Amino acid sequence: MPAKLIVISAAALAALGFAGWLAFRSGAETSVSTTDPAQPAPRSVAAATSAPSAPAPGTTTPSVAPSVRPDLNANVASVAEAARTGKFPERLSPMIAPKPFDAAAFSANPQSYLKVVEPGRVFQTAAPGINVPVLRSKGTASFEIATGSSCTLATITAPHAPVTFVTLDLGTFPNSLTAITVQANAEGEASTVYTASGGVIADVQVMAGSPMASGQVKFHVFVTSQPVASAK
């Protein structure tokens, strides 16, 4: 008897660049389906771990998100657990509020917080105040890269604070997903690498938010189908 396939429908997420369908095969490979019988080409919450092959001349490659193993890393495991058990919906959608942020608990054990993916954290920002820093980008917030290439996105927040990055138009972060939370250093710098994987093309929006800083940073990445010429 074939292994049971668990499918979670989240069609509303497609408009935000997340999965229309998530499929996880119990005890096997984590599968992300990009085919929804009810609607064309929804986008995916998990993403490719390698760049797609080049399209034939005169054709385009659709943005897709190939499978990743559910044990690839702690972040992927947290998403796989949510899809498999039907619990923790906040790990699957930026439209669902994340768990409340506990600054003391984070300070005591940052890894417990960082190993779980909750895309909605990008909206979980601090209220403006006299002693509350405003989240800002470090360096440019606009990039141009080729399909399959990467760029580093950096922000400034409170020292050692968490920052969540979410791409609304596919592509991946180092955890092979479309959302990641990283911790800032002692100077408040928090950064991650965005890769235009899975056939991503044209405009990509990436948002960043921190529960210990007010406001959000919006990055713009323009992805070309040809290698970007080096500046001379």
Q: How many other C-beta atoms are found inside a 10 Å radius of the C-beta of residue 199?
A: 23
Domain at 172, CATH number: 2.60.40.10
Our count of domains for the chain comes to 2
Which of 13-17, 78-82, 154-158, 210-214 comes out lowest in average pLDDT?
13-17
**Contact (CB, 8 A) for 188 and 138:** no
**114-165: pLDDT as tens digits:** 999 999 999 999 999 999 999 999 999 999 999 999 999 999 999 999 999 9
Residues 142 and 194 in one domain: yes
Domain that holds residue 189: 122-224
Give residue 5's identity as a one-letter amino acid code. L
**194-226: pLDDT as tens digits:** 999 877 888 999 999 999 999 999 999 999 987
Residues 46 and 133 in one domain: no
Is residue 202 a part of any domain in this protein? yes
User: CA–CA distance from 61 to each of 58, 70, 167 (Å)?
Assistant: 10, 26, 19
Residues 132 and 220 in one domain: yes
With the C-alpha atoms ordered 119, 123, 124, 126, is the resulting torsion angle positive or negative? positive
Residues 210 and 128 in one domain: yes
Is residue 106 a part of any domain in this protein? no
**Contact (CB, 8 A) for 42 and 18:** no
